[in-house]
Chains A and B, each alone.
Chain A
Amino acid sequence: MTNTALLKRATTLGLGASLLAMTSAFAGDLNVWAWDPNFNGAAMNKAAEIYKADHPEFNLTFNAFSREEVEQKLQTQLASGTIDGLPDIVLIEDYSAQKFLLSFPGAFEPLTNAFDYTQFADYKVALATVGSETYSVPFDSGVTGWFYRSDILGEAGYSAADLENITWDRFIEIAKDVAAKTGKPMLSLDINDPGMFVILLQSTGHWFFDENGELDIVGNEAFKAALADYTEILQAKEIYKPVSGWAEYTGAFTGGDVAAALTGVWITGTIKAADMPGQWAVAPIPRVDGVEGATNASNLGGSSWYLLTSSQNKDEAKAFFNDVWASNIDFYQDILVGQGAVGSLLASREGAAYQSNDDYFGGQAVWQDFSNWLGQIPGVDYGIFTYEVRSAIATQLPALADGADLDEAIEKIEAEARVLTQ
């Protein structure tokens, strides 16, 4: 019968397919998941290149998925107990570190004895530590800056000094003035992504949770002040271009539609890819007014590498980490200038690149600036539910932009967050 013949042929094909699957996973290949080919992917590839020079048999494959996809895949497979599809090394954003470490005990390899963690920035070590074990290879800091087009702001009459040590109210004034004089909105803004609000919030030294990990939203004065400032930005519609998705967000400033991007230092690679040397500069972010301890420095994102216990190549991975990520100062200078990766290895910050002036940013000593701001970021404990709460915040943003009552919105955020963190 035709059907059975087809079935037979199909079974043979199936066998062929499983053979194919087997050959792709032979020992010595380190499989890595991360999201940005221009940033963390590029840094990892550079590290592999360096290591490969002395270890020719070493091979590393970088797979790019969106950050959401990386987290969903990791969660799906760890929850289902399937390990075949897991990589050896995965990049996890700092916000999600505790969630993964606590939800899937045993899934990540403790590296406490593999490195000397005192070489790394304390806060990066702390957020990857559960009990007495630390699990990460600390990667980058998300120290924030106000990347602006010095030519456009200059045309509107603003110099670097005008942008230092200001509040968000002043920021909005300047942005309105720039928009009026040059026709360019200051920012691109995706209302689905509350990342910018998160910058404001952390700069106050507060977060969504109190020290016991309980929701701290209603009655959190810093949260309210930060949200009030952010709402003012949302309502000043002439100062931003509404966009949807990351490609449009970055396209707006690399394509010259808007005058600035206010985000983490890791955006440097994207800004440099636009090839507009000398037209860019960086200022510190504005400050939330009226909150004690609020600073002109904050953090957005930042992430670390984690080794999975299911990996067949753990020793090799550890050797690689030790050789490059935990000791190679030159490597860190490379990825700093190339990708804007402000590494967490403290010694690397004494390197030459950190002292240098960057011509792309008009000769500004940007890396020294970022180093200084890095020291001023107020520390917060991200807890395990950052993205759940972010989602609850995102729900209220369009209404706030249309003039909804702030206190009511905060109550709704708390109510929704409470359900999601149950």
Chain B
Amino acid sequence: MAQTRLGRNENISGWAFIAPAMVLLGIFMIWPILWSLWMSFQTGRGMNMSFGGLSNIIRLTEDPIFVKALGNTLTFLAIQVPIMIMMALIFAVMLNSPRLRFRGLFRTAIFLPAVTSLVAYSILFKSLFSTDGFVNASLIALGLSERGVNWMGDPFYAKIVIITAITWRWTGYNMIFYLAALQNIDKSIYEAARIDGIPAHAQFFKITVPMLKPVILFTTIMSTIGTLQLFDEVQNITLGGPANATLTLSQYIYNLTFRFMPSFGYAATVSYVIVVLVAILSFVQFYVARDRK
């Protein structure tokens, strides 16, 4: 587009069209995030706040619950996101093979979880993993466990439940992105590879993955942002327990504001940790992906 063609009227129209969005973003995003920064230097209970300097940051370093919530969030991120991306890629490649029968059926079935509300599926998982629930009954029936697993009472297994649930909800969603991208890859590249005698698994790593790199990057960043904000699932499946083993940063912010004695300033400080983390991780992921090109 030639910018020189833009007349004065055009310029005004241009701004007029984007103005509503900008004003709304200004009020409901820019202003709150700046206010939040200011609040993170305030201390006090409830609405009675006063300037506290760096005391919230000091509190952060001494707070075992914050460390735990941060650790949990990063654990979910480090374990769940790679597993899910890997599975989504494998399903997408399998579904993309032209001779596959029942393709539409498989695709629809695997995508279906992405249609549910986060709260709804969390409740389903909570009931599936209850003490005498379906999962334990199945494990006992199959002889894999004698008394069933104490899913919600054991810090390790509770994390497994959360990771399983999130993977169930989002694998099909990510798969759709890969499927769309795979369809844009020129089939002749694979033809050539086959003629050259390159085996299927090598084709996957040498052709498919590099070609999908931009989409993989996009989905990884989106999943990272999503995981750092994890709330609905842990709130409805484990309520952060047992022993805060599944407590996430978002949930801790919520608890600091609405469950325990309200501590708005400190909650704002914790929320800035997420902002910084998202920024750093997005940057790193961009950097890593760009580097290898």
- A residues in contact (CB < 8 Å) with B: 68, 71-72, 75-76, 79, 99, 103-104, 190-192, 241-245, 248, 384-385, 387-388, 391, 394-399, 412, 415-416, 419-422
B62 interfacial contact with A, CB 8 Å: yes
- CB-based A-B contact count at 8 angstroms: 83
Q: How far is the CA of A193 from the CA of B25 in the complex (A)?
A: 42
A398, B261: Cβ atoms under 8 Å? no
Query: Quick one: which of B59, B66, B153 contacts A242, CB cutoff 8 A?
Result: B153
Q: How far is the CA of A103 from the CA of B152 in the complex (A)?
A: 33
A192, B258: Cβ atoms under 8 Å? no
A103, B153: Cβ atoms under 8 Å? no
The segment from B185-193, B206-214, B235-243, B274-282 that touches chain A is B235-243
Q: Which of B58-73 contact A (CB under 8 A)?
A: 59, 62-66, 68
Q: How far is the CA of A190 from the CA of B150 in the complex (A)?
A: 10
Taking the nearest CB of chain A, how far is it from the CB of B259, in angstroms?
6
Query: In the complex, what residues of A have CB within 8 A of residue B47's CB?
Result: 79
B178 interfacial contact with A, CB 8 Å: no
B65, A398: Cβ atoms under 8 Å? no
Q: How far is the CA of A177 from the CA of B88 in the complex (A)?
A: 52
Query: In the complex, what residues of A have CB within 8 A of residue B46's CB?
Result: 79, 103-104
A76, B241: Cβ atoms under 8 Å? no
A396, B261: Cβ atoms under 8 Å? no
Taking the nearest CB of chain A, how far is it from the CB of B58, in angstroms?
11
B260 interfacial contact with A, CB 8 Å: yes
Known: A192-B241, A394-B243, A398-B242. A422 touches B152 (CB 8 A): no
A394, B241: Cβ atoms under 8 Å? yes
Query: In the complex, what residues of B have CB within 8 A of residue A191's CB?
Result: 153, 242-243
B152, A79: Cβ atoms under 8 Å? no
Query: In the complex, what residues of A have CB within 8 A of residue B259's CB?
Result: 68, 71-72, 75
- B residues in contact (CB < 8 Å) with A: 45-47, 59, 62-66, 68, 130-132, 150-155, 239, 241-245, 258-263, 266
Q: How far is the CA of A322 from the CA of B152 in the complex (A)?
A: 45
Query: In the complex, what residues of B have CB within 8 A of residue A388's CB?
Result: 260-261
Query: Quick one: which of B155, B258, B260 contacts A420, CB cutoff 8 A?
Result: B260
Task: Name 9 interchain pairs, CB-CB below 8 A, sorted by A.
Answer: A72-B258, A241-B131, A243-B153, A394-B241, A395-B68, A398-B155, A415-B64, A416-B65, A419-B63
- A244-B152, A397-B243, A416-B65 provided; 19 other pairs, C-beta below 8 A? A75-B259, A104-B46, A190-B153, A191-B242, A192-B239, A192-B242, A243-B153, A244-B131, A245-B130, A391-B260, A398-B245, A415-B62, A419-B59, A419-B62, A419-B63, A419-B65, A419-B66, A421-B261, A422-B266
Query: Quick one: which of A68, A99, A242, A415 contacts B261, CB cutoff 8 A?
Result: A99
Taking the nearest CB of chain B, how far is it from the CB of A81, in angstroms?
8
Name A416's closest neighbour in chain B (CB-CB): B64
Query: Quick one: which of A190, A384, A387, A398 contacts B243, CB cutoff 8 A?
Result: A398
Query: Quick one: which of A103, A190, A248, A399 contacts B45, CB cutoff 8 A?
Result: A103
B262, A79: Cβ atoms under 8 Å? yes
Known: A72-B259, A103-B45, A192-B241. A419 touches B153 (CB 8 A): no
Q: How far is the CA of A250 from the CA of B244 in the complex (A)?
A: 23
B152, A75: Cβ atoms under 8 Å? no
Q: How far is the CA of A241 from the CA of B154 in the complex (A)?
A: 13
Taking the nearest CB of chain A, how far is it from the CB of B55, in angstroms?
9
Name A419's closest neighbour in chain B (CB-CB): B63
Known: A248-B131, A388-B261, A415-B64. A192 touches B152 (CB 8 A): yes
Taking the nearest CB of chain B, how far is it from the CB of A171, in angstroms?
21
